[in-house]
Amino acid sequence: MTLVSRDPILLTPGPLTTSLATKTAMLRDWGSWDAAFNAVTAGVRRKALDVVHGEGTHVVVPMQGSGTFSVEAAVNTLVPRDGHVLVLVNGAYGLRMAKLAQMMGRKATTFVTAEDAPTTPADVDRLLAGDASITHVGLIHCETSTGILNPLKGIADVVARHGRRLIVDAMSSYGALPIDAREVAFDAVIAASGKCIEGPPGMGFVIARRSALEASAGNCSSLALDLHDQWVYMEKTTQWRYTPPTHVVVAFDAALDQFLDEGGQPARHARYARNCRALIDGMAALGFRPFLDPAIQAPIIVTFHAPADPKYEFKAFYAAVRERGFILYPGKLTQVETFRVGCIGAIGPEEMQQAVHAIADALADLGIAEIAPRAPVARVA
């Protein structure tokens, strides 16, 4: 029966399950121009920058909206109108970055690899050597459509050696996977409140190289998404240009404090890695097979091949697991039927084990016995 006594646990890549302290932070109303709220915004910017050790070289610019708003703000502001972006694609979010760059009138070229194959530094080296017109490279650090981890440091080194600029979509990696501005050259790392810091959704932010942001005035073709104007206004007034998501900002501040109390990025990564291991081991015992090779699997979200059993249908499976208190995520691949299970949020290995039990019970209720995927397994070209 439905677990009406509690909220379901979100095994999704955001929104995700938040702590009671984070939820409680949203119970107070804030004035958007009030000095107390402006102090919270300043604290969020400072703490978010510390996560990547960017003090002195980078600045944090928060933006209203989902993470995609901030990706568009970063590309539209930091890439000149005559710039050329090479977007590295092995999933839906790489395609999205290329699409928004093109819609903003920037020249965008894509390099597409299979959804289970990371882009390599050698690929980027060859592409940049062959096209001097490329000014920026767009990389999805952890591609949420599968959970694949792309080699940020190696690609960043190649981009820097060629004298180009790097824009990183770190939605599903920031706070959980190491990103160090002292070691990795980037013009922008983009993240959002409702991911690995475990805040609620509704605010994105760009960690931008100060010198690149200073040089970007006039690039943006959008009023609301002008990252340079947002930064200049915040620096001058301590306020947001337009109405901020006050409750989200304050809750994100509370989530950052909990992140630091837990031990920061290393501790967050360690917990998510334990979650991921408990999930994969438990699902393997049921007969499920992950889509990705373990060497390129980030401990953020795991894509599983759907059962071959003809009784399997995702909506019914989802509903049966939901009734037991856990919310899964549909697959995002086009040639292989899959579903996804997130490992992030204010949860631990015990919740992951409970989720596996819920999945086992759902399969039994639905009469699904054949778990292994159909052979041969399709590969995306």
- 10-residue mean pLDDT profile of the chain (381 residues): values are 68 95 97 96 98 98 97 98 98 97 97 96 98 98 96 98 98 98 98 98 98 98 97 97 98 98 98 98 97 97 96 97 96 87 98 98 97 63 40
**E strand intervals along 210-361:** 301-305, 326-327, 329-330, 338-342
Instruction: Confirm if 52 and 180 have CB atoms less than 8 A apart.
Output: yes
- Rounded to whole angstroms, how far apart are CA atoms 327 and 161? 44
Confidence at residue 145, expressed as pLDDT on a 0 to 100 scale: 93
3-state secondary structure of 111: strand
pTM of the model as a whole: 0.95
- Rounded to whole angstroms, how far apart are CA atoms 34 and 19? 26
Q: Where are the CATH 3.40.640.10 domain residues in the chain?
A: 25-261
What number of residues does the chain have? 381
**What's the CATH number for 25-261?**
3.40.640.10
- Rounded to whole angstroms, how far apart are CA atoms 85 and 367? 49
Confidence at residue 335, expressed as pLDDT on a 0 to 100 scale: 78
Confidence at residue 318, expressed as pLDDT on a 0 to 100 scale: 98
Taking the chain, what is the end-to-end CA distance rounded to the nearest angstrom? 42
Confidence at residue 381, expressed as pLDDT on a 0 to 100 scale: 40
Instruction: Confirm if 303 and 340 have CB atoms less than 8 A apart.
Output: yes
Q: Where are the CATH 3.90.1150.10 domain residues in the chain?
A: 9-15+264-366
- Rounded to whole angstroms, how far apart are CA atoms 177 and 298? 9
Instruction: Confirm if 150 and 114 have CB atoms less than 8 A apart.
Output: no
**What's the CATH number for 9-15+264-366?**
3.90.1150.10
Confidence at residue 4, expressed as pLDDT on a 0 to 100 scale: 47
Own/partner contacts of 276-280, CB < 8 Å, gap of 24 or more, are: 276/300, 276/302, 276/343, 277/349, 278/349, 278/352, 278/353, 278/356, 279/341, 279/343, 279/352, 279/355, 279/356
Confidence at residue 372, expressed as pLDDT on a 0 to 100 scale: 87
